[in-house]
Each structure stands twice: as structure tokens, then as C-alpha cells.
Amino acid sequence: MRLTEHTDYALRVLMYLGANGGRLATTGEVAALHGISHHHLTKIVNELGHAGFVETVRGRCGGIRLARAPADITVGDVVRHTEPDFNLVACLDGRARACPLAPACVLKGALSRATACFLESLDGIALSSLIARS
């Protein structure tokens, strides 16, 4: 399963903020570090703020920082929030039309279990474990 660019950037922001030990950072600073669009990253930071992952401070000396301790944020939490869905095949989407193979197919159940295991594994990874301390 490949995560979207949106999730990749969200994790990069959170890791950067976690490594800063509570110091306010700017979106421009993070964008420049990773060579990504400042405009796009601003949208992601806004979304992370609404979800309670980051706190934003307005004003001339403002910026962003983690809203929770890095140990209290899991990769699973972030991935669930930033990924639009985990429908690897059309039958996992409740809006898809009925599949003629459904009565004999076990793929849907197998992929659902695999997705649950994937997310459960990510739930065991705290942001704090992704940040190298110097």
C-alpha cells in the first residue's frame, strides 16, 4: 500500500516539529527544508491543526508546534486522518455496484483483514520513536 503525498508531508511536518522540542517553526521553514510547495504545506498544516495534531500561533512571531507530546501521536492516527480511504479494490467501497463474484469471493475479507493489520502496526509507532534525539 502506498500512502499519498499528503500523508507523507503531514508526517514530515510532525516529525520536524517533534524534533524541535516545542520551539515554534514556520510552514515556510518546513517547506524549504523538504523542497515542497509552501502553499500545499499550508493546507496540510491547517488540516493537522483542525485534527488537533498541531497548534498554530498567529502574529509576527507566530508559527506552529505540536499540540500533543510526540509519544501521544501515532503514525496510525495520522494515516487514518490523512488518507481518503483504504479501498484497495472496488468491492471495499460501499458505493460500488455489486460484484458478480461476491458470493464466492474471499478477497474482500482478506484485504480488510490486511488493512486492519497494517493500521494496527502503525498504531504501535509513536511519533517520538521516529525522531532522532541529539
Residue 66's nearest CA partner among 3, 122, 24 is 24
Q: What is the pTM of this model?
A: 0.85
Q: Which three cell numbers stand for residue 63?
A: 508559527
Position with higher pLDDT, 100 vs 7: 7
pLDDT of residue 18: 95
Q: What angle do CA 91, 96, 97 make, to 5 degrees?
A: 100
Mean model confidence pLDDT for the chain: 88
Stretch 25-33: mean pLDDT, rounded?
A: 94
- pLDDT tens-digit readout, 42-73: 999 999 999 999 999 988 888 999 999 999 99
- pLDDT tens-digit readout, 65-77: 999 999 999 999 9
Q: Which residues contact 133 (CB under 8 A, 6 or more apart)?
A: 19
Angstrom distance (rounded) from CA 38 to CA 27: 7
Q: What percent of the chain has pLDDT over 70?
A: 87
